[in-house]
Amino acid sequence: MASVCAGAEALGRADLLDGRHCTTHHDVQDELALRHPRAVVVRDVLFTADDRVITSAGIASGVDMALHLVATRHGPAVAAQVARDMVVYARRNGHELQASVMLRHRSHLHDTVHRAQDLIDARFDQPLPLPTLASAVGVSERTLTRLFSRATGLTPLRYQQTLRLERAQHLISHGATIDAAARSVGFEDPRMLRRLRARVA
């Protein structure tokens, strides 16, 4: 069950907020807390998720809440793709930093690199040799590596590995073994996933 903005009041009337963390628009947070004293009203966040009840602050934060739901069910890569199509940023909560690999490395304006990223994003779990990638975007391997590194701070291979790692972390957090997660995201050898996880630990 989810609510947007002052819609949290309806959940409160249905006793769905009792004992749960929730939020609403800042103008009516005090009123919500007063009317529903058993609710734990959290201020200054975009949304809260407590068990199967999710509440968001103002109307715009409903987008952040929806993207969180997409990420929870389908993974952060899908949520980032949806956010990019909507021309919005994906955020998990008001106090957390942007975590999506796709969006974190999409702030540049270089069209060739964006096209290369589109291909990697769509096929991050498949072999994508640099010659194939460079040919697809119409530049040499050396030029693509230079442009890509300048725009994103990563080589195309490292970008692909980072996408794989993000997706694998999501699968592991939902109960997958490291070996199963590694195979699912395209690593032929699970040891590569273990090494990448160790680097960011």
For residue 45, the model assigns a pLDDT of 84
| Most trustworthy range by pLDDT among 7-21, 56-70, 73-87, 96-110 | 7-21
How do residues 137-183 score in pLDDT, each as one tens digit? 999 999 999 999 999 999 999 999 999 998 898 889 888 999 999 99
SS3 content of the chain, % helix, strand, coil (to 5): 60, 5, 35
Q: Domains of the chain: which residue ranges?
A: 2-62, 105-201
Say if residues 124 and 163 touch (Cβ distance below 8 Å).
yes
Residues 6+ positions from 124 with CB-CB distance below 8 Å: 77, 160, 163, 164, 167, 185, 186
Spatial separation of the C-alpha atoms in residues 87 and 32, rounded to whole Å? 32
Other C-beta atoms lying within 10 Å of the C-beta of residue 11: 23
For the chain, the average pLDDT equals 89
CATH (residue range 105-201): 1.10.10.60
Average pLDDT over residues 25-48: 93
55 versus 105: the higher-pLDDT residue is: 55
Q: What is the structure's pLDDT at 89?
A: 63
Block residue for tokens 């890509």: 148
Q: Is the pLDDT of residue 2 over 50?
A: yes
- Range 83-95 average pLDDT: 67
Dist CA 84 CA 75 (whole Å): 15
**Cβ–Cβ under 8 Å, residues 84 and 63:** no
Instruction: Show Cβ contacts of residue 133 under 8 Å, excluding neighbours closer than 6 positions.
Output: 116, 119, 120, 144, 156
